[in-house]
Structure 1
Amino acid sequence: MTDAPAFDHEAALLACAAGERGALQRLYQQEGRYLLGVALCIVRDRALAEDVLHDAFLNIWTRAASFDPSRGAARGWIFTVVRHTALNRLRALQHEVNAGDDLEQLADHHEPAVQAPEWQADLGRLEDCLGQLSDAKRASIVYAYVDGCTHTEIAERLKAPLGSVKAWIKRGLAALRECIG
């Protein structure tokens, strides 16, 4: 009995960047069920998660050339694209609520994703607590947890020392825990 060769995510992304449609199909066959699980954990609605996965694969196809193996693993990059697509979809739903849509009406369309008023209250509390942080701490946390940036990428964006960024995130998270707690 021989082990099947490991799937080469990097080669699949490079093939996508070169326009090879079969590579995207192989990626979907290899990771689709796991990526759907990631989307489902974030948006909490099967139909919405399927839409997110579709959009994420379009993003993977169009952005495959931007993958840089020196910055991380190809599989991690793919999962990050799905995570960001799901989070962007949640943010879009949040903006719809802020634009004056009735929460009940929106909940009918995307039931589990934006259903509980407590979820909205938690987001409001988080927003208030984030507003109490210094600009550097807030930006570091948002870059790390919303944009999925590494500490090094955050340091580059903020033009700050790596150690400072790590400290801002650590202290900022502690302040958020205390504020929300």
Structure 2
Amino acid sequence: MLLARTAMGDREAFKSLYLSLSPKIFPVLMQLMHDRQLAEDLLQDTFVRIWEQASRYDLNKSGAYTWSYTIARHLALDHLRRSSKRRTEHHTEREIELDVTESNMFSSSSHTQGRVDNCLSQLKGDQRQAVILSYCYGYEQRELVGVLSHPLGTIKSWLRRGMEFMQQCVSH
């Protein structure tokens, strides 16, 4: 109801929607970003996007919270992708934390870093995000369940297979 009224430009409905949903969405953004200012910025961006796209909301497909949460999640993941890309482009010194048998794959030499970047780019979609978020940003597997919206078993499989691929790819 509030989203339908927001789609018609009703500012009071939008204000009510914000007051209702922001306390639920903000903690999710905090958990994803681990940075209060960034989470606040993304919350604002989320509600700007909701205001702009409210006419696209379909009550038959999802609830208002689910639709809004999806927007927030996509904005957060987009931010993480951009951050990851900037880190890769600038070849920062921070190494991916792996167990001892895997760590030699991630040396700080630019040649090896280039191979790692190339191998990462060959991973597909959510699996690539799982590997990057886990090994570059230190996300726990259970956190990835919320970030990527997939079961824990799927996350574990993506990480295991992703790291097996990375080891094989970087060593060749």
Give the Cα separation in 1 of the matches to 2:121 and 2:30. Answer: 26
Give the structure 2 partner of residue 86 of structure 1: 76
Give the Cα separation in 2 of the matches to 1:49 and 1:99. Answer: 24
List per-residue Cα deviations over 1:93-136 (Å, max 9, x = no partner).
22222332x748xxxxxxxxxxx6437x7xx97984783x6xxx
Aligned residues: 130
Could you say if the C-alpha distance between residues 28 and 54 of structure 1 is closer, same or farther in structure 2, counting changes exceeding 3 Å? same
Pairwise mapping of residues 138-177 of structure 1 onto structure 2 (< 5 A)? 138=124, 174=157, 176-177=159-160
Which blocks of at least 5 consecutive residues in structure 2 are unaligned? Answer: 98-105, 107-112, 129-143, 165-172
Task: State the Cα RMSD in Å.
Answer: 3.9
Match of 2:38 among 28, 44, 48: 48
Match of 1:29 among 19, 26, 35: 19
Give the structure 2 partner of residue 13 of structure 1: 3
Secondary structure (helix, strand or coil) at the match of 2:27 reads helix
Give the Cα separation in 2 of the matches to 1:127 and 1:39. Answer: 30
Retained in 2: the 8 A contact 1:17–1:65? yes
TM-score by length of 1: 0.56
Could you say if the C-alpha distance between residues 12 and 129 of structure 1 is closer, same or farther in structure 2, counting changes exceeding 3 Å? same
Q: How far does residue 61 in structure 1 lie from its aligned partner after superposition?
A: 0.4
Spell out structure 1 runs of 4+ moving beyond 6 A.
124-127
Could you say if the C-alpha distance between residues 53 and 15 of structure 1 is closer, same or farther in structure 2, counting changes exceeding 3 Å? same
- 1:177 aligned partner, one-letter code: R
Give the structure 1 partner of residue 96 of structure 2: 118
Give the Cα separation in 2 of the matches to 1:34 and 1:94. Answer: 26
Give the structure 2 partner of residue 74 of structure 1: 64
Retained in 2: the 8 A contact 1:130–1:176? no
Aligned-residue identity in percent: 27
Which blocks of at least 5 consecutive residues in structure 1 are unaligned? Answer: 1-10, 105-115, 151-169
